[in-house]
Each structure stands twice: as C-alpha cells, then as structure tokens.
Amino acid sequence: SELATMMDVGVNQVIASCMSLGLFVSINQRLDAETMSVVADEFGYKVEFVSADILEAIEEHEDLPDKVHPRAPIVTVMGHVDHGKTSLLDYVRSTNVIAGEAGGITQHIGAYHVTLEDGRHITFLDTPGHEAFTAMRARGAQVTDIAIIIVAADDDIMPQTKEAINHAQAAGVPIVFAINKIDKPGANPEKIKEGLANLNFLVEEWGGKYQSQDISAKNGTNVAELLEKVLLEAEMLELQANKDRRATGTIVESSLDRGRGYVATMLVQNGTLHQGDIVLAGQYYGHVKAMFNERNQRIQEAGPSEPVIILGLDGAPQAGDKFNVLENEREARVIANKREQLSREQGLRTQKHITLDEIGRRIAIGNFQELNLIVKGDVDGSIEALSDSLIKLSTEEIQVNVIHKAVGAISESDIMLATASDAIVIGFQVRPSLQARRLAEKEEVDIRLYSIIYDAINEIKSAMEGMLSPEI
C-alpha cells in the first residue's frame, strides 16, 4: 500500500505485479528490497533506499585515491587441531622475528601487530581456527586478508585441514601454506605437498600458484621466510587505507573487567582512532576513555590494521560487530538504542538465508546467480558423485557451487559457513548434530536431508527451475 501511494498507482496494480512474480501479498505486507525494486521498475520507477536500515545508516564514503596508503595485512592461522596454530602464533608473538621489541608480547588480546626488521608490519588475529574466522564472517565482518593454513608434516591433510581451506576459499581469502613440524624425525613435507596437489592446490615448488613454506613453529625455523611470503601475497592485494579519517573497524573480543568496566579489543580497518573519540560498536557506545596496545602500553591513537584495547563502552559488543566513530554522542546514543530495539524485536535474528523454496522466486526476480551448497555425507564416493552432479546442474544463469564437502555429520561449523556464505546444507545419509540443528534454526539455514542421490539432484533441479512445490 505504501509503495502504491508513493508511485501513485492503485494498490491492486502493485498486488497484481507481485502476483506475476509468484508472490501472493496482502495490502500491508512488507516487501523485501529486491521485490520492491522489480515492482517499482515495472511502473517506471527506480527505488533508492535512503538509510533503509539504521544499522547501515552510517556514512561510509569511499576514499579518494590520493588519500590512501598501504596498510598491513591482517592474517588468520587455520588448520587441523594440533598441527601447530597456537605454536606459530606464540612464536611470532614472542620472538625476535620482531624488531626491537624486547620480550615480545605477553598478553592475549585477540589480535596483535608485529613489526619486522625492515619496518614492515603484519597483524595477526590471535583467535586461531576457521570456526572463529567464519563466526566473524557470519556477523558480516570480513577482517582477514590472508589465511595461513598450517599442516603438520608428520601427519596428513586432515578433515579440518580441508575444512579450513574451504572456509578460506568461501571467503575469497588467499592462502599461504605452512608445512609445520619439519624438525620431527617422521616429517615428510613432500607428502603433504602431494596431498595438496591431489586437492588441486599446487604449491609453487611444484609449479603451482600457492605459496608454501616448510617451517618448525616450535624452533622458529623458516618462520621469517613464511612471513616474507605472506607479505608478498599482501603486496599483490594492494591493501590500502586512509589514516586521515574517522576510524572504522571490527570488534575482535570484549568482556567486562571488574576494575576497568567494559573492555573491547578492536581492529581499526580504516582511519585513525583517537583517545576521546565517540565510538559506536554494535548496540553499544561510549567515549574512548583509554587505549592500550597488545603490549599493554597506553596509546593515544591507532591507525589502519592496528589492534587496540579500549575502555569506555557501555556494554560488551560481539566479536564481528563493526564499530564506527561518530561526531556526537547524541547520534551514537540514538543509533545504539535503535539497534537494541531492533535486535529485541527480531529476537536477535541476524539475517535470513536462502532456502530451497525461495530459489525459484529469486530467480524469477532475476537477481540470483549463485547457489552455494555444502555437501555432507557418509562416504566419500557418494559425496563426490553427488557434488559433481549438483555442480553440473549449473545453467547459464545460475552457477552451482559446492563450497564445502566432507564426510561426517552436519556440524556447527558447517552451519556457520552456510550462514557466512548464504549456502544450503545437504546431508546425504547423515544428520545434523543437536548443536548444528539449533544453530541452523536460529540462523534460519536450510538443511536438506536425503538418502537417495537421485532425490537430492532432482529436488535441487526442480528448485532451480522454480518448480519446487512449497512445503506446507
């Protein structure tokens, strides 16, 4: 009705237009943004969304090319459990790969920034693992520039190695491989490289495009060389930021400290954060009362790619929440309150994800080009066969991607990946764990279970053709 009024056409015309898209709507129904655009287009209007969502209402202007400078890469370490993530992060944190800083960094604040001997910088996210990485991404935060995938040379490419690779790839984050534990007697780095080649990740030494470095995280052997390769990868990304603007970035972690109040570790991604700034982070805001770096030194400002601890927020935002600096406190309070109200109304619901039933309609509207799937199954052979057939369903209009496939029950990490990549999860002869089911309900991720390959293929095919009969 509102849309009809704005366009000065009859409500019934708008309803009819929706019907032609296969949508049966009532007069006071809220239309989603895409539908609104298509309907308006039909009447010769273009929809412009003016701060449609207060969550996004904060000015995010583009930086002029002459204002930006290179910034340090932000790196996450991922890999199978016990392959050496923590050891690598600890080694880098505490040793003289880092210039001048006697004693290294002793505290864990969720991220740290190191300076190499030649003055270049790297920022590490200190919560290793792809779960943390994808959890942040599921909240809309794309923080990592480069992923180090660590594989122990005395072991094999393990399920979580593959999972980590898939999570990095789904995020479009370039990978550098670290083949660890080369000091161990049974270590066989070549076997790992062969395993990677079998997964279609050919490392440079083997004529491929992936950088890889044999290391010992325990002894520090070749860690400097690994960082060199990370920086090379970073150079190709041409990472840039403008330090002369108000800061924006992401919350890495936060907590309530008895003596100091709310403490948040934030990563500045653009601009410079100053003591005294008014920060809005998720549903909370406040003046930056004090700032500290990862060495627990008090600082006055923090620039792009620098992690800081700040005191002064009136609550603990979630990891992955974005932060902004605003001009005045009133504005920050209004937005924070509005966000709180919205999240209460929506019962903390974040975002609705694609479901199989919805695909036909989205295709009809014409803005659906990629169908992301996660395939879990009981045996490797059937997963491969099913994935291949699903990918072959791709048409000129819609690309079907299997962003992750693995043997095993549907896990929380699968659901997180689905949330972050807007994917549908397919279980073949396997079921979701209880936690996965709960998370899927909360995040509204569509899980489809099959026991016959043909049924799975047929149902996805029908959905893509818009033929799926709605579930009642």
- Specify the residue, 155 or 277, whose C-beta has the smaller distance to ligand GDP: 155
Q: Are 254 and 263 in contact (CB under 8 A)?
A: yes
CB of 355: closest distance to ligand GDP in angstroms?
35
Q: Is residue 178 part of the contact set for ligand GDP (CB under 6 A)?
A: no
For 267, the token pair is 């990563």
- Specify the residue, 81 or 434, whose C-beta has the smaller distance to ligand GDP: 81
Q: In this chain, which stretch among 131-139, 158-166, 175-183, 416-424 interacts with ligand GDP, using CB under 6 A?
A: 175-183
Among 37, 87, 123, 248, binds ligand GDP (CB under 6 A): 87
Q: In this chain, which stretch among 81-89, 136-144, 312-320, 422-430 interacts with ligand GDP, using CB under 6 A?
A: 81-89
For 310, the token pair is 């700040």
Among 86, 188, 350, 355, binds ligand GDP (CB under 6 A): 86
Q: Is 181 annotated as a binding residue?
A: yes
Q: In this chain, which stretch among 4-12, 75-83, 224-232, 318-326 interacts with ligand GDP, using CB under 6 A?
A: 75-83
Strand partners, 180: 152
Q: Is residue 193 part of the contact set for ligand GDP (CB under 6 A)?
A: no
CB of 86: closest distance to ligand GDP in angstroms?
3
CA neighbor of 158 nearest in space, from 84, 76, 212: 84
Q: Is 82 annotated as a binding residue?
A: yes
Q: How many Å separate Cα 176 from the centre of its chain?
A: 18
Alpha carbons 95 and 72: distance in angstroms, whole number: 19
Structural element, H or E, at residue 38? helix 33-42
CB of 80: closest distance to ligand GDP in angstroms?
7
Q: Is residue 84 part of the contact set for ligand GDP (CB under 6 A)?
A: yes
Q: Is residue 180 part of the contact set for ligand GDP (CB under 6 A)?
A: yes
CA atoms within 13 A on the CB side of 4: 16
Q: Is 127 annotated as a binding residue?
A: yes
CB of 188: closest distance to ligand GDP in angstroms?
14
- Specify the residue, 188 or 382, whose C-beta has the smaller distance to ligand GDP: 188
Q: What is the CA radius of gyration of the chain?
A: 24
User: Binding string, 300-339, against ligand GDP, x = CB under 6 A?
Assistant: ----------------------------------------
Q: Which of residues 103-142 bind ligand GDP (CB under 6 A)?
A: 128
Q: Is 360 annotated as a binding residue?
A: no
Q: Is 277 annotated as a binding residue?
A: no
- Specify the residue, 50 or 81, whose C-beta has the smaller distance to ligand GDP: 81
- Specify the residue, 165 or 430, whose C-beta has the smaller distance to ligand GDP: 165
Alpha carbons 354 and 338: distance in angstroms, whole number: 26
For tokens 């509204």, the residue is 444
**DSSP category for residue 72:** -
Q: In this chain, which stretch among 54-62, 74-82, 110-118, 362-370 interacts with ligand GDP, using CB under 6 A?
A: 74-82
Q: Is 442 annotated as a binding residue?
A: no
Q: What are phi and psi of 125, to 5 degrees?
A: -85, 125
CB of 116: closest distance to ligand GDP in angstroms?
20
Q: How many Å separate Cα 16 from the centre of its chain?
A: 39
- Specify the residue, 17 or 87, whose C-beta has the smaller distance to ligand GDP: 87
Q: Which of residues 207-236 bind ligand GDP (CB under 6 A)?
A: 216-218
The terminus-to-terminus CA distance of the chain in angstroms comes to 27
Q: Is 324 annotated as a binding residue?
A: no
CB of 190: closest distance to ligand GDP in angstroms?
17
Q: What are phi and psi of 210, to 5 degrees?
A: -95, 130
Q: Is residue 184 part of the contact set for ligand GDP (CB under 6 A)?
A: yes
Alpha carbons 446 and 434: distance in angstroms, whole number: 15
Q: How many Å separate Cα 212 from the centre of its chain?
A: 23
**DSSP category for residue 175:** E
312 contact partners, CB below 8 Å, separation of at least 6: 261, 262, 279, 286, 287, 288, 289, 290
Structural element, H or E, at residue 301? strand 301-302
Q: Are 121 and 74 in contact (CB under 8 A)?
A: no
CB of 185: closest distance to ligand GDP in angstroms?
9
Q: How many Å separate Cα 399 from the centre of its chain?
A: 21
Alpha carbons 383 and 407: distance in angstroms, whole number: 8
Among 183, 314, 370, 444, binds ligand GDP (CB under 6 A): 183
Please count the residues of this chain forming the interface with ligand GDP, following the rule CB under 6 A: 16
Q: What are phi and psi of 24, to 5 degrees?
A: -100, 105
Q: Is 85 annotated as a binding residue?
A: yes
Among 181, 193, 362, 405, binds ligand GDP (CB under 6 A): 181
Give the amino acid at 222: N
Q: Which residues are annotated as a binding site for GTP?
A: 79-86, 126-130, 180-183
Q: Which residues are annotated as a binding site?
A: 79-86, 126-130, 180-183
- List residues near ligand GDP by CB under 6 A: 79, 81-87, 128, 180-181, 183-184, 216-218
